[in-house]
């Protein structure tokens, strides 16, 4: 149980004084000349806002869609080509489905982007997972939009 | 006794986990759903054939699970919005989660017969 005494650090120990100042260390998060300009946007804030705005709309659009498709009028029993043709004869339901398709895909893609950023630690893994995600989301939006706009009830 | 170092999140953490899990499930279904719907551009027969899969009892039960995931994600999403934009949201986040769970249970009970009626009729007759 020896009582150790420590000498308080003084300028004579560190070697810095008015004529020999300590080197300036950049704060880790400070923006420097090397910070890419592309990070100087509010992209993440707009993404956050989009999730909430699209979320509110999707509650109405998706729950309405589920009600019509899976709950009312016999549930899944009545679904078939004729049922789809009947619904898409109306521009109202075409527009409903189109907005729902776009919002749901973008909302889901942004959610998955967040999850990839959270769990994929290697830069390359993130890059490839996001490339796959954006490809799938783009494909879904393009295909779905084409199907709604080119639907032909008299295809056969 | 010192408290453990493992983070045992309560309602806040578990609702966050459930929101992620349901969100991922719904997104994957969306992808499949757009693909199956696009068969209306192939032929009525091709579309009706894939829709027949949705009428299979096991898949019908999965639709009930999809409704469960979507209802939770929707209700909890509204709670997240309330936490973010309502000044008292953070204070009542726990109570709001139990409200979400309560409404979810009621809606799921109400959706049980309508969503599964196809299977129930097939198994037990009409």
Domain coverage including residue A132: 42-150
Higher pLDDT, B10 or B113: B113
CB contact, 8 Å: A63 with chain B? yes
Measure the CA angle with vertex A47, ends A43 and A53; round to 5°: 140
- What's the CATH architecture for B13-124? Up-down Bundle (1.20)
The answer to whether residue A47 neighbours chain B at the CB level (below 8 Å) is no
Are residues B70 and A74, on separate chains, in Cβ contact within 8 Å?
Answer: no
Residue A6, pLDDT score: 55
pLDDT at A3: 52
Hey, how many other C-beta atoms are within 10 angstroms of the C-beta on B25?
16
**Residue B1 pLDDT class (50, 70, 90 cuts):** low
Nearest 10 degrees: CA dihedral of B82, A118, B16, A131? 80
Task: Annotate B97-112 with DSSP letters as a single string.
Answer: HHHHHHHHHHHHHHHH
Residue A33 belongs to some domain of the structure: no
- What are the residue boundaries of the structural domains of chain B, listed by start? 13-124
Report pLDDT for A5. Answer: 55
B contact test, residue of A60, A66, A118 with most B CBs within 10 A: A66
In which residue are the tokens 């749901």 written? Answer: A104
CA-based nearest distance A37→chain B, Å:
29
Q: Which residues are within 8 A (CB) of A65 and not within 5 positions of it... i.e. 6 or more apart?
A: A96, A97, A100
Between chains, do B48 and A81 touch, taking CB under 8 Å as contact? yes
pLDDT of residue B6: 73
User: Helices marked H in A2-153 — which ranges?
Assistant: 11-14, 43-66, 81-88, 91-119, 123-150
Say which CATH number the domain at A128 has: 1.20.1300.10
Overall number of domains in chain A: 1
Asked if A155 is an interface residue toward chain B (Cβ–Cβ < 8 A), one would say yes
Say yes or no for a CB contact (<8 Å) between A59 and B74: yes
A88 domain residue, yes or no: yes
A120 shares contact with chain B (CB less than 8 Å): no
- pLDDT tens-digit series, residues B23-37: 999 999 999 999 999
Look at residue A55 and tell me if it is in a domain: yes
Minimum mean pLDDT among A24-38, A127-141, B56-70, B101-115: which range?
A24-38
Q: What is the mean pLDDT of each run of 10 residues along chain A (156 residues)?
A: 51 76 81 70 92 97 94 88 93 96 97 95 93 97 96 84
């Amino acid at each position: 149980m020896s009582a150790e005494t420590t000498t308080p650090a003084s300028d004579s120990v560190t070697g810095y004084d008015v004529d020999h100042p300590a080197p300036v260390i950049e704060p880790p998060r400070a923006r420097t000349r090397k910070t890419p300009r592309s990070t100087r946007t509010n992209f993440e804030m707009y993404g956050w806002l989009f999730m909430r705005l699209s979320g509110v709309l999707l509650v109405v659009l998706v729950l309405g869609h589920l009600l019509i498709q899976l709950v009312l009028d016999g549930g899944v029993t009545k679904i078939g080509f004729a049922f789809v043709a009947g619904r898409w004869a109306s521009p109202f339901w075409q527009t409903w489905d189109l907005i729902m398709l776009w919002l749901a895909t973008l909302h889901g893609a942004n959610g998955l982007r967040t999850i990839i950023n959270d769990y994929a630690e290697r830069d390359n893994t993130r890059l490839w997972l996001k490339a796959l995600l954006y490809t799938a989301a783009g494909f879904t939006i393009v295909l779905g939009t084409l199907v709604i706009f080119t639907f032909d009830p008299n295809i056969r | 006794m010192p408290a453990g170092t493992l983070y045992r999140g309560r309602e806040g953490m578990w609702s966050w986990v459930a929101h992620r899990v349901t969100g991922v499930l719904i997104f994957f279904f969306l992808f499949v759903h757009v693909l199956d719907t696009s068969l209306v551009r192939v032929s009525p027969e091709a579309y009706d054939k894939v829709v027949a899969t949705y009428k299979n009892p096991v898949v019908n039960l999965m639709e009930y699970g999809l409704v469960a995931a979507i209802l939770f994600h929707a209700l909890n999403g509204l709670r997240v919005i309330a936490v973010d934009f309502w000044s008292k949201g953070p204070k009542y986040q726990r109570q709001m989660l139990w409200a979400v769970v309560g409404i979810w249970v009621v809606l799921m009970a109400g959706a049980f017969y309508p969503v599964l009626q196809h299977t129930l009729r097939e198994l037990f007759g009409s």
